[in-house]
């Protein structure tokens, strides 16, 4: 196993050496079934054990490592959404077609980004795996709008542009996400 790790924003990220389905940009998520938090393994100790120390010790081999796409923080979600909103607005104005509906999908190589703008102007966006088809993502976003209409807008305690705090909204949204994910897990 030859991977070149780099510590970026307190996580172990693969920066060189794609093989065995592990791609550049992925981070180490698990070490021998223990969650990796930043650069340490959550192994029950107070601060955790540094992963690079464990990997350097030959007595710890063989090891089971699981890599994946890094989890997005709340701040990163806000940055992505505000950037997308700006790009969406530019695309509507710069489109050669009058009355353009803006960006509906973006293929970003390792993931896809989809947008559905409701008749009220609210945008629903999702980031998906590359295996998700455009039709499935569009149907999912339309279902999200339906759930939003039923369980947020019709809720007398909900205020526009505030976080949605409704159990029925959460339940229906989770079931919709599971319906999108289920066919992907089989393939």
Q: For residue range 56-91, what is the model confidence (pLDDT) as tens digits?
A: 889 988 988 888 877 777 888 888 888 888 988 888
User: 130 pLDDT exceeds 90?
Assistant: no
pLDDT at residue 150, as a whole number: 93
Separation of alpha carbons 63 and 14, rounded Å: 17
Q: What percent of the chain has pLDDT over 90?
A: 17
Name, in order, each residue with C-beta under 8 angstroms of 149's C-beta and a sequence gap of 6 or more: none
pLDDT at residue 158, as a whole number: 87
**Domain 104-186 falls in which CATH fold?**
Beta-Lactamase (3.30.450)
Structure tokens at 155: 């809720």
pLDDT at residue 187, as a whole number: 44
pLDDT at residue 185, as a whole number: 47
| pTM exceeds cut of 0.85 | no
Q: Which residue has the higher pLDDT, 35 or 13?
A: 35
Domain boundaries, the chain: 4-68, 104-186
pLDDT at residue 147, as a whole number: 95
With beta carbons less than 8 A apart as the criterion, state whether 113 and 125 touch. yes
Q: Which residue has the higher pLDDT, 51 or 100?
A: 51
Give the mean model confidence (pLDDT) for residues 126-130: 84
Q: What DSSP element (H or E) covers 173?
A: helix 167-186
CA 182 from chain center: how many Å? 16
Mean pLDDT taken over the chain? 82
With beta carbons less than 8 A apart as the criterion, state whether 41 and 56 touch. no
User: 186 pLDDT exceeds 70?
Assistant: no
Question: Per CATH, the architecture of 4-68 is what?
Answer: Roll (2.30)
């Amino acid at each position: 196993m030859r991977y070149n790790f780099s510590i970026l924003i307190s996580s172990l990220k693969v920066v060189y050496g794609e093989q065995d389905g592990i791609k550049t940009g992925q981070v180490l998520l698990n070490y021998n079934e223990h969650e990796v938090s930043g650069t340490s393994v959550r192994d029950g100790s107070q601060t955790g054990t540094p992963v690079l120390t464990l990997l350097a010790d030959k007595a710890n081999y063989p090891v089971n490592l699981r890599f994946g796409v890094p989890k997005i923080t709340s701040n990163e979600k806000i940055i992505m959404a505000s950037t997308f909103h700006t790009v969406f607005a530019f695309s509507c104005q710069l489109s050669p077609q009058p009355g353009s509906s803006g960006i509906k999908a973006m293929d970003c190589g390792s993931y896809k980004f989809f947008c559905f703008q409701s008749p009220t102007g609210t945008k629903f966006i999702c980031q998906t795996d590359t295996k998700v088809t455009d039709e499935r993502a569009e149907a999912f976003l339309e279902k999200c709008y339906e759930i939003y209409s039923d369980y947020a807008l019709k809720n007398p305690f909900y205020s526009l542009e505030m976080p949605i705090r409704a159990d029925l909204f959460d339940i229906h949204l989770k079931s919709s996400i599971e319906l999108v994910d289920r066919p992907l897990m089989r393939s």
